[in-house]
Amino acid sequence: MFEAILLTVITAATPLLIAAIGELVVERSGVLNLGVEGMMIMGAVVGFAVANQTGSGALGVVGAILAGMAMSALFGFLVLFLVANQVATGLALTILGIGLSGMIGEAFIGVPGLKIPELYIPVLSDIPFIGPVFFQQDALVYLSFALVGLVAYGLFRTRMGLVLRAVGDNHGSAHALGFSVIKVRFLAVLFGGACAGLAGAYMSLAYTPQWVENMTAGRGWIALALVVFASWLPFRVIIGAYLFGAVGVLNLHAQAIELDIPSQFLSSLPYLATIVVLVLISANRRLTLVNTPACLGKPFVPDR
Amino acid sequence: MRLELVKRKERSASMAVMSPLVAVGLTALAAAIIFAISGVNPLVGLYEFFIDPLTERWSLEATIAKATPLILIGCGLAVCYLSNNWNIGAEGQFVVGALFGSALPVLFPSFENALTLPLMLIFGAVGGALWALIPAVLKTRFNTNEILTSLMLVYVASLLLDYLVRGPWRDPDGFNFPESRIFSDAATLPDVFGGLMSLATPITIVIAIVLAIVLAKTLKGFEIRVMGESPRAGSFAGFSAKKLTIFSFALAGALAGLAGTMEVSAALNQLLPSISPGYGFTAIIVAFLGRLNPIGIIIAGFVLALSYIGGEGVQSGLGVSNEIASVIQGLLLFFVLACDTLILYRVRLVTRKVSATTGEPSHV
Amino acid sequence: MAEAPEDKKAPGARQETGDLLDARGLTKRFGDILANDRVDLAIHKGEIHALLGENGAGKSTLVKMFYGSLEPDGGTILWQGKEVRIDNPAAARALGIGMVFQHFSLFEALTVVENIALALPNPGNMAELAKRIEAVSNDYGLPLNPKDFVADLPVGIRQRIEIVRCLLQEPQLIIMDEPTSVLTPQEADRLFLTLQRLASEGCAVLYISHRLEEVQRICHHATILRHGQVVRECDPTKETAGSLAQMMVGSEILGVGSHTKALSAGEPRLGLKGLSAPAGTPFATALNDINLDVRAGEVVAIAGVAGNGQGELFDALSGEMRVQPGMVVLDGEAAGARAINWRRKKNAAFVPEERLGHGAVPGLKLSQNVVLTRHATKDGLIEAGMVSLRKANDLEKRIKKHYDVRMSHDDPEARSLSGGNLQKFVMGRELDRKPGILVVNQPTWGVDAGAAALIRQGLIDLAREGSAVLVISQDLDEIFQISDRIAVISRGYLSAAEPAAQMTRERVGLLMAGGAETQGEAH
């Protein structure tokens, strides 16, 4: 029982983790991309469509990543080159993504999907409990952890990360020192788009291997909240993602043990939990003020 | 060669008018491309989508009926966005408003008199306002980001509606269908001009005009504009950012709630598991396309309503997915935001660096 | 063209062409404004070269082209005799050009070593870099702790980071933009020693300033800019402060009639009684037991280095930050917990430091900006909740006329005005009311000399008519010019106000450097 719950938690947490770590990088560079939901749903539908047409899960994943990046490039062009309002543009991205995915996905409703296979590591995978939980996941689960490690290393141990943090902290100074604020941010936005696309692919190729309209159901928004929850520190995103993953699967297991609670109430738990967590985090002004990238959401126009 | 933005000294008045028009034009262009990709003659597609609904009385009325909630919600959102409060949960406020407004006819069906409708409308506005006050209070009290909280409450509101319609508020004589009982005549908003439009439309227009005057002429309107552009200067003027956050969310929630109640009372006549085709989100586009100005919003609401009717039209007429409506809506918001850049900036194309002989930069 | 063939301080005779940097005909245009018009400038090895000019004369534009942050529209730059194109700051640094920015180019959320690493092409191992920083900074008498976060450091130390960052690049030219504007006089003296040592080692310094006294003290040569053009070159030691000022401004500056002294100080109109307030954010300064009386008829100035609690003090005075009722007293009434408009109705007026975004809304027309501070006063701008456009327009015209606010067309948006004109407008908006109590933060920051003289005169005239005027300023020249009494703020502590006649720059400097703090604590 516990093992089964844990396994569902992992699959529920993985897309949140991937999308949130991407958005963390974006926000560290000083850009707020509220369009995670839109990029994710596009990743889900393109991932499904490509996998379905080519029969290859890997190609599906690549397609999803490219779709997420294409969406984020659109966002990046507007907010970085045209200095459009970031909040409104992020919303536009989500609205567009939901519409476009619905249009693309119409042909795939009810089509049986393709599931990314779980890895099988001889001996290790056969250990009871530990085997299935730690050594019998699909590749994307391991990739999600690798991503967090990579982002943490990149942000705090490389020059590239130093420049990215500098741009997010004070774009005026970064510009004065000769860094291309817009280029750095655009690359960060593309990375965020790639992650959101990948997270979407996980939804339609691993979590529930099928295409359902609006299947991300607000997970992109929860990923945004996770970045705040993690106060922009990569490893804390893991805690948040698994916490929210656990809340998300409560519904499933509560029905299994026949709890007499309306399913709608359990379904609303992740959203309510997000609100509660945001309140708890933001009420601590010291914590949020110190860690928030100082230029988050602020427009930048270089003087030339 | 590169693109450069050059800040204008002052905002361009002509661009402020041109920007939405250019955006609509670009959207039509993009829509034509999408039609072509879908294998439809772009001109036929555009005609069916944008023009055909205007040619017949019934579809024109249907468009206006659809525009009504969009305009009402958009007006409230404009006040939020002008004052820099990012309420994106109008969809939830619409639903909860509808629930509050419907409580009377659903729970007390025998309460049928002249007070029924006014009470419903008041309840609806109050319900929407209360739901909107949750993110507002969290923002002012705990500094919580209102974007995420207001949006999360949309999902909660939809689930609440789903629960009520399938559970306690289900029509006892409804053969277990997930729907509430049908409202009585006393709880139904009367039609006007004998067609598809209800009293909701004139009410909405009046509210929009009043709001336009408030924004343009009164101290409250001045406060809203100052706070949105420069909170520090607003507090120097003696305005309170927190009070304005509460005010703008409450107003937007009330208008969304009112829209929800009127929609349920006039158009649906009962509660269903889903009562909105995303009005709360589309109204965000309406607010921006209307330049956050209530009069502009009336026009923008009509344009966006056209996309709903047009979407149904191309689906039945040309076999194109009606999802094209939300694609076009999303593109429209993109283009509006992109064109708005031209109000504050000039774009110039720098072709090469410096001409050594004249010392003059060469731009196009 | 002033030649200085026998200059003892400059190495060798001064030649027309610079052996280090030679700029010829540099031109830069921003929209309609010609910021630099065919500027020639020659810099020699080992010289401290002053670049003088009023605000808006084009000094910053010029040096930004040397540092690669701006692209010239015309002209050439020769570096050690060879024509170069400096495309970006990294290219400038590679040539050996370093820059210390006026408002700094530091990152608060990063450590000292990270800040420095960002400007180096190959910073290498962070631990080794930290060691180098410690060595170099100690060597030049500018000690730094590489692990500190910039957010926790005062401005004086922040400037050290910028200087050490330049030094680590082994520069041949260091550009310094108004470096002493954030320093106490004593800190400035220490900086001058560093600059002189650098010059003796052969490094050139391009020193931007409008403080003539220090230019005369340390600079070997001066180039003077006006309206984007070079108007004169000279040896500053052979000029008087007056003649230098005249070259900068182009005409005689009107003196301020400050020494029509207050006849006899009247009743206290503005009182601070044990004003204390905790820091609102991690980056703010707490106010500690501040006591001060400003009497009718006098101008009291509060001196201090930026970031020592001036903003917080202003907010407490204006009511943007509420404190205990008795801590702020206006004409005998406890006002500490009252809102800003209550205070305005009691005939108090306030002018904040930030013109755009605090004192005025950038995107609103001036007539609308009039409403900003005067909607609650007895000007009748609001009738039954409606803003009277006619009255707002009349007021705007009156302010424009009386305070010489120049604009390209009628009633423009605030953002389109130049700094000096906007400051005249926001000052005029309050002076026009003839307030009984006026609190001003940085009345002439970034304002040209003509406008500054007008504003200062306005403050003195207001006081002489029986008002109490409190000026918070970082400009010691201004403070000595206009005030009757001077107090000094340091880390949220305020020294006792002393008659200006008895104060010296040295004493103010000591109080700025912490003397005010010990005095305040001893209270």
Question: What pLDDT digit, counting tens, does each position of C149-180 carry?
Answer: 998 887 788 888 999 999 898 899 999 988 88
Q: Is the separation of the CB atoms in A19 and A33 below 8 Å?
A: no
Quick one: average pLDDT of A133-156? 90
The CATH number of the domain where C446 resides is what?
3.40.50.300
Q: Which alpha helices (DSSP H) does C96-240 contain, by range?
A: 112-119, 126-139, 155-167, 185-200, 212-218
Same domain, C65 and C204: yes
Q: How confident is the model at residue C520 (pLDDT cuts 50, 70, 90)?
A: low
Is C275 in the same domain as C306?
A: yes
One domain, residues C54 and C184: yes
Q: Cβ(C205)–Cβ(C173) under 8 Å?
A: yes
The pLDDT value given to residue B362: 35
The residues, any chain, with a CB within 8 Å of residue A147's CB and separated by 6 or more, are: A17, A18, A21, A195
Other CB atoms within a 10 A radius of the CB of residue B353 amount to: 13
Boundary (domain end) residue, out of C249, C279, C297: C249
Q: Sort strands C386-387 and C485-490 into parallel, antiparallel or unpaired.
A: unpaired
Q: Give the end of a domain, one of C406, C433, C460.
A: C433
C188 and A CB contact within 8 Å: no
Long-range CB contacts (within 8 A, 24+) of C245-251? C245/C212, C245/C449, C247/C52, C248/C52, C248/C53, C248/C54, C248/C57, C248/C210, C248/C224, C248/C449, C249/C54, C249/C448, C249/C449, C249/C450, C250/C226
Question: What is the b/e burial string over A90-117, where b = at least 16 CB atoms within 10 angstroms of the residue's CB?
Answer: bbbbbbbbbbbbbbbbeebeeeebbbbe
* Domain assignment of residue B334, yes or no: no
Residue C11 lies in a domain: no
Q: Which stretches in chain B have pLDDT values below 70?
A: 1-2, 194, 350-364
Residue A291: the pLDDT is 77
Tokens 């006294």 sit on residue? C213
The angle at the Cα of C294, spanning C293 to C299, to the nearest 5 degrees, equals 145
d(CA A281, CA B83): 25
Which residues constitute the domain of residue B243?
Answer: 53-312
* Position B279 in a domain: yes
One domain for residues C235 and C307: no
Show residues of chain C in contact with B220, CB under 8 Å.
385
Of B6, B219, B354, the CB nearest to C387: B219
Does the beta carbon of B361 lie under 8 angstroms from any beta carbon of chain C?
yes
Q: How far is Cα of residue C301 from the mean position of the Cα atoms in its chain? A: 16
Residue C239 within any structural domain of the chain: yes
Helix (H, G, I), strand (E, B) or coil at C418: coil
C22 inside domain: no
* In a domain? residue B232: yes
Would you say residue B281 lies in a domain?
A: yes
User: pLDDT band at residue C12, thresholds of 50, 70 and 90?
Assistant: very low
C-alpha gyration radius of chain A: 19
C499/A contact by beta carbon, under 8 A: no
Q: Residues near C128 by Cβ (< 8 Å), separated by ≥ 6?
A: none
Position with higher pLDDT, C187 vs C43: C43
Please give the residue of chain C at the shortest CA–CA distance from B359: C74
C364: closest chain B residue by CA: B226
Amino acid at C220: H
Task: Give me the DSSP letters along chain A.
Answer: -HHHHHHHHHHHHHHHHHHHHHHHHHHHTT---TTHHHHHHHHHHHHHHHHHHHS-HHHHHHHHHHHHHHHHHHHHIIIIIS---HHHHHHHHHHHHHHHHHHHHGGGTT-----PPBP--TTGGGSTTHHHHHHSSBHHHHHHHHHHHHHHHHHHHSHHHHHHHHHHH-HHHHHHTT--HHHHHHHHHHHHHHHHHHHHHHIIIIISSS--TTTTTTHHHHHHHHHHHTTT-HHHHHHHHHHHHHHHHHHHHHHHTT--S-HHHHHHHHHHHHHHHHHHHHH-HHHHHHHS-TTTT-------
Q: CB of C51 within 8 A of CB of C9?
A: no
Cα C447 to Cα A7: distance, rounded to the nearest angstrom: 67
- For C371-398, how does the pLDDT look when each residue is reduced to its tens digit (9 = 90+)? 999 999 888 899 888 999 899 999 999 9
- Note whether C330 and C401 are same-domain residues: no
* Domains: count for chain C: 3
pLDDT digits (tens, 9 = 90+) for A18-68: 999 999 999 999 999 999 999 999 999 999 999 999 999 999 999 999 999
Q: Are C78 and C22 in contact (CB under 8 A)?
A: yes
Instruction: Report pLDDT for A23.
Output: 97
Residue C18 within any structural domain of the chain: no
Helices B13-37, B279-289: crossing angle, 10 deg rounding: 130
- For residue C73, the chain B residues in CB contact (below 8 A) are 354, 359-361
The answer to whether B132 and B87 are in contact (CB under 8 A) is yes
Q: State the pLDDT at residue A14.
A: 95
Q: What long-range pairs does B219-222 form, CB within 8 A, spacing at least 24?
A: B219/C371, B219/C375, B219/C382, B219/C385, B219/C386, B219/C387, B220/C385, B222/C368, B222/C371, B222/C375, B222/C387
Q: Which pLDDT does position B1 carry in this prediction?
A: 60
Ramachandran class of C347: left when φ > 0, alpha when ψ lies in -120 to 50, beta otherwise: left
**Same-domain check for residues C199 and C281:** no
Look at C104 and A173 and tell me if their CB atoms are within 8 Å.
yes
In whole angstroms, give the CA distance from residue C86 to residue B271. Answer: 69
* DSSP letters for A225-246: HHHHHTTT-HHHHHHHHHHHHH
Per-residue pLDDT at C346 exceeds 70: yes
pLDDT the model gives residue C324: 95
The pLDDT-based confidence of C15 (bands split at 50, 70, 90) is low
What the block records as the tokens of B3 is 């693109």
**Are A84 and A19 spatial neighbours (Cβ–Cβ below 8 Å)?**
no
* Domain assignment of residue C389, yes or no: yes
**Alpha carbons C396 and C394: distance in angstroms, whole number:** 5
For testing contact with chain B, the best of A182, A227, A278 (most B CBs within 10 A): A278
Provide the angle, in degrees to the nearest 10, between the axes of the packed helices C126-139 and C112-119.
90
Distance of CA C151 to the CA centre of its chain: 20
R_g (Cα) of chain C, nearest Å? 24
State mean pLDDT over A87-93.
92
Asked if C403 contacts B235 with a C-beta cutoff of 8 angstroms, the reply is no
Distances (CA, A) of C50 to A45, B210, C225: 64, 61, 11
Q: What are the tokens at C402?
A: 């009386």
Asked whether the beta carbons of residue B330 and residue A96 sit closer than 8 angstroms, the reply is yes
Whether residues C334 and C372 share a domain: the answer is: no
pLDDT in tens, C40-69: 999 999 999 999 887 778 888 899 999 998
Instruction: Please classify residue C46 by burial: count the beta carbons closer than 10 Å to its beta carbon, then call 0-12 exposed, 13-18 middle and 19+ buried.
Output: buried
Question: CA nearest C448: which of C55, C51, C12, C52?
Answer: C55
Contact between C33 and C398 (Cβ < 8 Å)? no
Q: Give the per-residue pLDDT at C6.
A: 40
**C447 lies in the same domain as C429:** no
**Residue C86, min C-alpha distance to chain A (Å):** 11
Question: Residue C10 falls within a domain, yes or no?
Answer: no
**What is the CATH number for B276?**
1.10.3470
Tell me whether B173 touches chain C (CB under 8 Å).
Answer: no
The total of other beta-carbon atoms located within 10 Å of residue A157's CB is 11
Is C35 inside any structural domain? no
- Assess if residue B167 is contained within a domain: yes
Please state, in angstroms and rounded to a whole number, the distance separating the CA atoms of residues B76 and B91: 12
Q: Which of C383, C403, C433 is the last residue of a domain?
A: C433
The answer to whether residues B241 and B227 touch, using CB atoms and an 8 Å cutoff, is yes
Band (C3; pLDDT cuts 50, 70, 90): very low
In chain B, the residue whose alpha carbon lies closest to the alpha carbon of C408 is B9
For residue C477, the enclosing domain spans: 254-347+435-523
Residue at C275: amino acid letter: L
Radius of gyration of chain B (CA): 23
Mean per-residue pLDDT for C244-256?
A: 68
Rounded to a whole number of angstroms, the distance from the CA of B121 to the nearest CA of chain C is 27
Residues of C in contact with B226 (CB under 8 A): 361, 364, 372
Give the count of beta carbons closer than 10 Å to the beta carbon of residue C474. Answer: 21
Give CA–CA dist B109/B120, Å, rounded. Answer: 12
What are the φ and ψ backbone dihedral angles of C266, each rounded to 5 degrees?
A: -90, -155
Q: Taking CB atoms and an 8 Å limit, are B358 and C74 in contact across chains?
A: yes
Q: What is the pLDDT of residues A165-208, one digit of tens each?
A: 999 999 999 998 989 999 999 999 999 999 999 999 999 999 88
> Cα–Cα distance between C116 and C125 in angstroms, integer?
12
According to the model, what pLDDT value does residue A119 have?
A: 73
Residue C256 is predicted with a pLDDT of 57
Place of tokens 């003796």: C200
Tell me the ipTM for this assembly: 0.88
Coil, strand or helix: which one is C164? helix
Q: Alpha-carbon distance A247 to A265, whole Å?
A: 12
Give per-residue burial for B88-104: e unless 16+ CB within 10 Å, then b.
bbbbbbbbbbbbbbbbb
Task: Answer yes or no: is pLDDT of C470 > 50.
Answer: yes
Residue B349 lies in a domain: no
Per-residue pLDDT averaged across A81-110, rounded? 92
Partners of residue C22 on adjacent β-strands: C42, C78
- The count of domains in chain B is 1
Residue A167 class from Cβ within 10 Å (0-12 exposed, 13-18 middle, 19+ buried)?
Answer: buried
Place of tokens 């249009």: A103
In the complex, which subunits touch C with 3 or more CB pairs below 8 angstroms? A, B
Whether C292 is covered by a domain: the verdict is yes
What whole-number percentage of chain A has pLDDT above 70? 96
For chains B and C, CB pairs below 8 A equal 87
Segment C351-376, tens digit of pLDDT: 999 988 999 999 999 999 999 999 99
**Residue B210 resides in a domain:** yes
Selecting from C101, C109, C282 the residue whose C-beta is nearest the C-beta of A176 gives C101
All domains in chain A, ordered by first residue: 2-291 (1.10.3470)
Q: Could you tell me if residue B117 is inside a domain?
A: yes
Share of chain C above pLDDT 90, in %: 55
User: Is B338 touching A (CB cutoff 8 A)?
Assistant: yes
